Amino acid sequence: MNRHFQVWPKGLPKSLTVPQTPLHDNLWVTARRYPEKTAIDYYGFTLSFRQLRDEVEALAGYLQQQCGMKKGDRIALYMQNSVQYIVGFYAVLWGGGVVVPVNPMNVTDELRFLMQDSGANVVIAGQELYAQAAPLLEEGIVREVIVAAYSDYQAEGNFAGMPDPPDVVRLPRISLAGQKGATHWHEAIGLRLKPHVVETGPEDMAVLPYTSGTTGQPKGCIHTHFSVQAGTMSATVWQHLTSDSIVLCTLPLFHVTGMVHSMNAPIQTGSTIVVMTRWNRDAAAQLIQRTGATHWKLIATMVIDFLAHPNLADYDLSSLCSVGGGGAPVPRAVAEKFQATLGLPYIEGYGLSETISTSHSNPPDRPKDQCAGIPVFGVDARVVHADTLKELTPGEDGEIVVNGPQVMKGYWQRPGDNDRAFVELDGKVFLRTGDIGRVDEEGYFYIVDRVKRMINASGFKVWPVEVESVLHKHPAIQQVCVIAVPDERRGETVKAFVVLNDAARGQVTEEEIIDWSKQHMAAYKYPRRVELVESLPMSGSGKVLWRKLQEQEAEKLKRAQSS
């Protein structure tokens, strides 16, 4: 069971004691240790750890005194990467609340569901997203929106070697005149209200990230201060983060990997976070050279785009010492090019929202390509038969199950899903990941397939049933089936087979359905391809045979490649 210890990273202990203190205590400790050290570098604007703590305290005071936040209340963060995201995250925790991170690509319908399901009635939103949140104010689902203009934290003047911020960072504050329940960020912070102390224990809920399930309905993953601390401590030690490390933050902070590796871990150690609001390979190269970035977590699509930069050789990237990520395997040829170009291995890992990011990672001193890695500190991972739950031998394919300190407590208000998600083996409770994999003789895990119908689009999980349920709202659609199809850039993308109702046949086009989908789904979810068909293959019991469609698409691709 502990065969992976034979390849354990040199110099690291095989166990790690998780702090019993709340997550936000990490910022307070770091601010006392390194008050004037740069905590955040945001396109040339810098904030020290002392200043970061003061901003967090001011917003926590506002949330408590003006928004009525009490211990355990859920508060939504609906922003792109920014100074405000980091301040907002720690302010919610400091004030005793629970962070509900929301994908900024979500539209009003998706935001409405998350607010109603989580019970959050206060949203901290980027001003470019305010139009999506405003209807919820009018409906009474949300009682206050704190509107953040990223330009509130914008450097004055130009800095040599510093990329221009994206347009959304330059936008001046929008007018909120007549907008009842909407407050500008700078006004909330400007009151400088002092929060009262809230006693927070390790088992109190801290973060409620949402993931999608086999039913297509998003589910909140209950993470305590302890489970997030476990993930954070594991990330800092595994990556050898120190107070002098500089972390380039390109992964979205609403996603657990960005949250843990690019925000919580550097705050715990006192490292500087170089924040990018939007991915741009030119900006990434410039920031690495200008700031001397040492650590960088990213996904396969970013790796491919970065390596395709025609002038990459013109930049000094020698400061980097630890680069890696997860979400989707990096093709071997790309990993080899990465090694040749940067002189570093790309360290792949594996994890879920349910494990608050990493449960497995490759040893930095002995990585394997297209491999999830080995279980990290305190993790017991096994490959079992999906039906009998019998543990399988190395080389056999089965479902990966995980036990560890970073595993969630369960799904928010989903007792039925919890019954299906957890299983007891040898007196320990394991999370069923739903991923099919195998383990080799040295303890390295490989992801082979998925138990569920999940589409992996650029590292984002897309559940066909969720997309289908939205498409069924289109007045012209009678039937629909969504599958994954290969995509050169995204790895996989979403394709919908659509049967139109009689009145719409010949009147509605595939392009019109795609355009409609863009208005009702996040950018990573909507079908990039739509095919109008006369009927869908059905089983004798009336179920759509999605696997048959998947196989037909694979055969079609195979024929195209051979012709």
Residue 93 has a CB neighbour count (10 Å cut-off) of: 27
Answer whether residue 244 shows pLDDT above 50.
yes
- Give the confidence band of 206 by pLDDT, cuts at 50, 70, 90: very high
CATH superfamily of the 21-418 domain: ANL, N-terminal domain (3.40.50.12780)
Alpha helices by DSSP H, listed for 242-314, are: 256-259, 265-269, 281-291, 300-307
- In three-state form (DSSP H/G/I as H, E/B as E, the rest C), the secondary structure along 51-78 is HHHHHHHHHHHHHHHCCCCCCCCEEEEE
How sure is the predictor about 501, in pLDDT bands with cuts at 50, 70 and 90? confident
Mean pLDDT, to the nearest integer, of 36-43?
97
Task: Take residue 303 and report the two structure tokens written for it.
Answer: 């790796």
SS3 label, residue 138: helix
DSSP state of 262: I
**Residues in the chain, how many?**
563
The pLDDT assigned to 419 comes to 95
Distances (CA, A) of 43 to 83, 161, 314, 501: 11, 10, 20, 51
User: Is a pLDDT exceeding 90 seen at residue 500?
Assistant: yes
| DSSP output for 28-41 | HHHHHHSTTSEEEE
Which numeric CATH code is attached to 455-562? Answer: 3.30.300.30
Question: Residue 334: pLDDT above 90?
Answer: no
Contact partners, residue 419, CB within 8 Å, separation at least 6: none
Range ranked top by mean pLDDT from 211-225, 375-389, 469-483: 375-389
Q: Residue 214 pLDDT more than 50?
A: no
Provide Rg for the chain, Cα atoms. Answer: 23
Instruction: Give strand pairing partners of 273.
Output: 40, 247
Tokens 């920014």 -> residue: 82
Q: What is the pLDDT of residue 131?
A: 97
Task: State whether residue 389 is helix, strand or coil.
Answer: coil
Residue boundaries of the structural domains of the chain: 21-418, 455-562
| 53 token code pair | 């703590």
d(CA 363, CA 348): 9
The phi and psi torsions of 408 (rounded to 5 degrees) equal: -60, 165
Average of per-residue pLDDT values in the chain: 93
> 43-47, 156-160, 277-281: lowest mean pLDDT where?
156-160
pLDDT at 436: 85
- Model confidence pLDDT, tens digit, residues 98-144: 999 999 999 999 999 999 999 999 999 999 999 999 999 999 999 99
* Dihedrals phi, psi of 88, to nearest 5 degrees: -60, -40
Mean pLDDT of 462-474: 83
Q: How far apart are CA 403 and CA 318, in angstroms?
A: 38
Question: Would you state the pLDDT for residue 509?
Answer: 95
Report CA 255 to chain centroid distance, whole Å: 2
Confidence class of residue 213 from pLDDT cuts 50, 70 and 90?
very low
What tokens were used for 245? 């490390």
CA 516, distance to chain mean position in Å, is 26
pLDDT tens for residues 361-417?
999 999 998 899 999 999 999 999 988 999 999 999 899 999 999 999 999 999 999
pLDDT of res. 215: 46
Per-residue pLDDT at 463 exceeds 90: no
Task: Give the number of other Cβ atoms within 10 Å of residue 389's Cβ.
Answer: 16
Mean pLDDT check: name the lowest of 301-305, 319-323, 353-357, 507-511.
301-305
402 beta partners: 381, 431
Per-residue pLDDT band at 541 (split at 50, 70, 90): very low
What digits encode the pLDDT tens for the residues 251-308?
Answer: 999 999 999 999 999 999 999 999 999 999 999 999 999 999 999 999 887 888 899 8
Cβ-based neighbours of 91, under 8 Å, separated by 6 or more: 55, 56, 57, 58, 59, 60, 63
* pLDDT of 45 strictly over 70: yes
pLDDT at residue 317 is higher than 90 = yes
The CA–CA distances, whole Å, from 337 to 260, 303, 308, 344 equal 27, 10, 10, 10
CA distance 492 to 461: 10
3-state DSSP of 347-376:
EEEEEEHHHCEEEEECCCCCCCCCCCEEEC
What percent of the chain is modeled with pLDDT above 70? 96
Using CA atoms, how far apart are residues 72 and 204, in angstroms rounded to an integer? 8
What integer pLDDT is reported at residue 543 of this predicted model?
A: 61
pLDDT of residue 153: 96
pLDDT in tens, 415-440: 999 999 999 999 999 999 988 889 99
Span 191-213, average pLDDT: 93
Report the SS3 class of residue 280.
Answer: coil
Pairing between strand 346-352 and 410-411?
Answer: unpaired
53, 55, 19, 17: which is closest to 36 by C-alpha?
Answer: 53
